[in-house]
Chain A
Amino acid sequence: GAVVSQHPSRVICKSGTSVKIECRSLDFQATTMFWYRQFPKKSLMLMATSNEGSKATYEQGVEKDKFLINHASLTLSTLTVTSAHPEDSSFYICSANRGNTGELFFGEGSRLTVL
């Protein structure tokens, strides 16, 4: 079964509104989670590293005020797309390491459409 759960799987919103996406690790604690973005027929682009209890680390070119990340507990990280615009429409995927196996588990992904 899934070890990382992401919600919602699909969301449609109006331009200018904010959208929150949740990423939960199931049955394990994740001090670090990763948020990726994927455009159609493109690969995954790392947006930021979410750190439990501290500020997220953003990749170059990613606006931290636009994509707010909160990692308030060891099993939950949230990504909020603020003041969404149509160009923010994309597939957002979170991931987490479980233990020291090296395997990175992905959530189911969230498809955001901004009208």
Chain B
Amino acid sequence: GQNIDQPTEMTATEGAIVQINCTYQTSGFNGLFWYQQHAGEAPTFLSYNVLDGLEEKGRFSSFLSRSKGYSYLLLKELQMKDSASYLCAVRLNQGGKLIFGQGTELSVKP
């Protein structure tokens, strides 16, 4: 089966940096995605890694190590509006099917 693990909850302080980890064991791999989801809304795309290394996009960065089956999402200069669920997802093949982890609920405190 497919297995994608990430912490259930995290708490961080406004202005700080937080790292959300994701490990995966899947039957195929064609890219890893991070999405942000606010309660009651659809997920919005944050980042995509298919090669090893760091992808930076403003306050958000994502890292991938395919040999370790590991990724993290780094959020800098945290803002209150960053409080949301962060979903790690693996695309199994070029067909685009994504399998999601259980999501990490991030709470940003003042």
Contacts and interface: CB of A to CB of B under 8 A. Distances in A.
Interface of A: 6, 32, 34, 36, 41-46, 49, 91, 93, 95, 97, 102-109, 111
A97 B87 contact: no
Nearest to A96: B96
A102 B50 contact: yes
Contacts of B105: 41
> What band does the interface of chain B fall in when counting residues whose beta carbon is under 8 Å from A?
20 to 34
A41 B98 CA distance: 19
Contacts of B96: 32, 34, 97, 104
Interface string B8-40: 000000000000000000000001010000001
Interface string B68-110: 0000000000000000000101010001111111110100000
B100 A43 contact: yes
A49 B48 contact: no
23 contacts: A32-B95, A32-B96, A34-B97, A36-B100, A42-B103, A43-B100, A43-B102, A44-B43, A44-B87, A45-B100, A46-B97, A46-B99, A46-B100, A102-B48, A103-B33, A103-B48, A104-B33, A104-B96, A106-B42, A106-B43, A108-B42, A109-B40, A109-B42
